[in-house]
Structure 1
Amino acid sequence: MQLDHATIVTADLDSARRFFVDIAGLTDGARPPFSVDGYWLYASGRPVLHLIGAPASGAVGRITPRIDHIAFRLDSAGEWQALLERLDAHHIGYQTAQVPASAAQPAERQLFVALAQGVVIEFVTAARQTIQPES
């Protein structure tokens, strides 16, 4: 397993993008066709920072801007299945989602675990490597 990316939610999406591209040296790159505005910023050919646009006033209990979550990449179907088994064995709930395929990358599976209010951990893997969980 390796750290995959961090996500920042901000009401000032373009300023955040300019800072991370112009100052920090990340590059703009391809992003799947999500239903929310955002950017994927790349380092060494990998999308390591996801920026998501959000209104200035967040949902109840959520403050914007914020670092939304961190994500770990699982490289094999065995790692993914072992994660599902550990979550189930410890009675830890989770939600899954599909990252839409784009010209730049194939579809992927996501799994989100809420550790505490406002603390989210994501696990992501290639969609072809997963068995659909029953969450």
Structure 2
Amino acid sequence: MHLDHATIVTPDLDATRQFFVDVVGLTQGARPPFGVGGYWLYAGGRTAEGRPADGRPVIHLVDSALPHHSRRTSPRIDHIAFRLDGDDEWQALLARLEAAGVAYQTADVPLAGEVQLFVALAPGVVIEFVTAARNVRRASF
């Protein structure tokens, strides 16, 4: 398991994106078609073809101005995410969560072939685990 990304919820997407691109040196890249505005920013610059050099977005920016989601209106770092690369690692995580009686929610990432698993540790403290969909045995949810 390794750190996958951090998500920042912000009311000013463009200024935040500009800071991370122009100052930090990240590259704006592909993002699945979620129902909320945002950007995915990648480390490592661009390839000769113009794609982000690193295949993983390290910062996810999400628009906090959601009228139908009053809980998501404050700027903040929303969550951190850990990537699990194999089926054995994913199944071991599920077993540990079940053994500890920890509740979780799962979601498919549109067009990305990935599955997210979210654990709310406390109000406002969310940990995400993400893996390739091929590592998930659907009957285990």
Q: TM-score, normalised by structure 2?
A: 0.86
Alpha-carbon distance change, 53 to 63 in structure 1, aligned in 2, over 3 angstroms = closer
After superposition, residues 19-98 of structure 1 pair within 5 angstroms as 19-44=19-44, 45=54, 46-55=56-65, 59-60=70-71, 64-98=74-108
- Large movers: runs of 4+ above 4 Å: none
Which segments of 5 or more consecutive residues in structure 1 lack a partner in the other structure? none
Q: CA deviation at 1:128?
A: 1.1
Give the Cα separation in 2 of the matches to 1:36 and 1:43.
23
Q: TM-score, normalised by structure 1?
A: 0.90
Q: CA deviation at 1:55?
A: 1.4
Instruction: Tell me the amino acid that sits aligned with residue 127 of structure 1.
Output: A
Q: CA deviation at 1:59?
A: 2.6
Judging by fraction of residues, say which structure has more helix. 2
